[in-house]
Amino acid sequence: MKLSVARMVVALGLAGMLSLPAFAGTITWQIDPKHSSAQFAVTHLMISTVRGEFHQVNGTVVIDDADISRSSVNVTIDASTVDTREPDRDKHLMSPDFFDVAKYPTMTFKSTRVEPAAPGKLKVTGDLTIRGVTKQVVLEVTAPKPAIKDPWGLQRTGVSGSAKINRQDFGVAWNKSLDAGGVVVGDDVNITLDVEMVVPPAAK
């Protein structure tokens, strides 16, 4: 009996350090697009930062609370939902100069490795595909927050992540040179993800 209690205390302690939902086994979470977004920031005219986001983020996150390395992430972003609060700029971003959404309507990220990092942090390595070009990207991710039950009885949790990419690597190459030197749009893009996830209700 004492041994069982000791094992329980150790298990709870490990779960707390990883900040993982208190579930046993593997849980498949569904991303809630109404409460999730993918933001980006890029240098403009070498003097300021322009920020935008994509509103439609969908996919699944599989969390194995016994072995986080067996977890996985699969995300799809609707490129046509780009929003920088300037309609003309958004139209340009959807054109062949940038995302070419008529030909490549979505961007995807599929994890290939999930591993612990600093306390409460995870490193998620995966394949990011933009404009049909796939490159390996590393996301720095917060460990999932302890799950809560929403007013409708569904279990929910949330994570945030960040990464930096070079847009040229994905063929997003449009630019113009400035007379004083430099370019209109920087190449480095900072990406931030804020994702809320839910366990779908069981089929009846």
Long-range contacts: 123-129, Cβ < 8 Å, 24+? 124/73, 124/161, 126/73, 128/165, 128/170
Q: Give the model's pLDDT for residue 6.
A: 38
Domain count for the chain: 1
Tell me if 53 is assigned to some domain. yes
- Domain assignment present for residue 203? The answer is no
Evaluate whether residue 132 is within a structural domain.
Answer: yes
User: 24 lies in a domain?
Assistant: yes
CATH number of the domain within which 139 lies = 2.40.128.110
pLDDT in tens, the chain (204 residues): 444 433 433 333 334 334 334 445 789 999 999 999 999 999 999 999 999 999 999 999 999 988 999 999 999 999 999 999 999 999 999 999 999 999 999 999 999 999 999 899 999 999 999 999 999 999 999 999 999 999 999 999 999 999 999 999 999 999 999 987 889 999 999 999 999 999 988 754
Instruction: Tell me if 204 is assigned to some domain.
Output: no
Per the structure, the complete domain to which residue 187 belongs is given by: 2-198
Q: Is the pTM of this model over 0.75?
A: yes
Structure confidence at residue 183 (pLDDT): 95
